Structure 1
Amino acid sequence: MPGTISGIPPMVLGGGIISAVSFVFHMIGFSTTYWYKDGDAHTGLWKSCGKLQGAEICFDIKDAPVHYNQLIAAQVLECLALVAFVAAVSCAFLKMFVLKEQGMLFVVTGLLNWLAGGLALVGVIVFATMSINGIKLDNSKYHYSFGLCIVGGIGGVFSGLVFFLAWRWVRN
């Protein structure tokens, strides 16, 4: 039956699911403000929040008087990873449902997943090595958004590997 998942090779289906789940994890981590939490204050890639007289107040990091190059680099890397994840998930679903006979789409999807996962992981590393006024961030205070981007990056790398294995499996 055309258009159903019964005709999709299991590795392609698994790679597509891993790619989509990795994209969702990365998107949640990318957009939330809990990369680093210290007491009542927490910060993400785009906003920093804290409690003042019982009310939570958030401000955009771009409005801060001081800009840290490592934070900007982490933002750029995570944005590029997000774009690569969107392209990878799009290619995965094209491979599964539209262009089933295109063998080169295995390679393209695998490379896009590797790129997305690699960029996400490098962005997380850049954020983790950031220092503010010469003071390194405490390793025990990274929070769930940070972890979700790590999981998304690892999932992207793993999904790329699955697509390359599927390409070799279907080719032989």
Structure 2
Amino acid sequence: MGEAILSASFLILAIASLLYIIGVATPSFIKIGEIHNGLWKRCVFVDGKPNCWDIEHYADKDWFKICRGMSIQGLIAILTSTACVALRLFKLPENKILRICSIVATFSTVAFILIGLVLYVKNIDDITDGALFDYGFSFALCILGMCFAALVDIILIYDLLMTKKNIQSCVDVEKK
């Protein structure tokens, strides 16, 4: 059962990593008319072709720098947690330190992504200047990646608790 849980966790984390990378890299966190805003670029689509430039309007604000930093930390953490689960799956399935590291790295992923997204939403008026907007697919992909990482963290914690329970059961049986 442990290998099946690790395989599922690795697959879900790989998908979460891919979704999060696409979400952070693309310029469609929010859309104001034809203007698409991301974490790195602002684009206007004219005749289906993007015309993009670096964000200058609010890039110097502290909250935006922290938001970008948390997004980068989230990216590093999600890749680290994917690597930890892959190591457990392919090389060191019973390594206790790696088991704890995978849980901590996955939890860190969720925390960093959540902080970055909350900061972005909390300060959305700096970006939109009060205009009507829609959230874009990039924002949704980041949230989806975070939710998948949270699911994997729950699975990994469950696996850790069940392993401890099974070891305790074996010890109790040997004592009798």
Under TM normalisation by the shorter chain, which class is it? 0.7 to 0.9
Q: Which residue of 2 aligns with 1:125?
A: 118
Gaps of 5+ in 2: 167-176
Answer yes or no: is the 8 Å Cα contact 1:118–1:157 preserved in 2.
no
Does residue 1:107 correspond to 2:97, yes or no? no
C-alpha distance in 1 between matches for 2:130 and 2:149:
28
| Aligned CA distance change for structure 1 residues 133 and 99 (closer, same or farther; 3 Å) | closer
Greater share of helix: 2
Following superposition, the deviation at residue 24 of structure 1 comes to 1.0
Following superposition, the deviation at residue 114 of structure 1 comes to 1.0
Q: Which residue of 2 aligns with 1:49?
A: 43
Give the share of equivalent positions with the same residue, in percent: 21
Note the alpha carbon deviations across 1:74-116, whole angstroms, 9 max, x for none.
Answer: 1110000000011100000000001122123222101111110
Q: Which amino acid aligns with 1:16?
A: F
Answer yes or no: is the 8 Å Cα contact 2:2–2:159 preserved in 1.
no
Answer yes or no: is the 8 Å Cα contact 2:22–2:138 preserved in 1.
yes
Matches within 5 A, 1:130-145: 130=123, 131-132=125-126, 135=129, 138=132, 141-145=134-138
Answer yes or no: is the 8 Å Cα contact 1:87–1:112 preserved in 2.
yes
C-alpha distance in 2 between matches for 1:25 and 1:65:
27
Q: Which residue of 2 aligns with 1:157?
A: 150
Query: Number of residues paired by the alignment?
Result: 163
Following superposition, the deviation at residue 135 of structure 1 comes to 4.1
TM-score, L = length of structure 1: 0.85
Q: Which amino acid aligns with 2:102?
A: T
Does residue 1:26 correspond to 2:26, yes or no? no
Answer yes or no: is the 8 Å Cα contact 2:13–2:152 preserved in 1.
yes
Answer yes or no: is the 8 Å Cα contact 1:84–1:116 preserved in 2.
yes
Following superposition, the deviation at residue 8 of structure 1 comes to 5.4
Gaps of 5+ in 1: 1-6
| Aligned CA distance change for structure 1 residues 136 and 104 (closer, same or farther; 3 Å) | farther
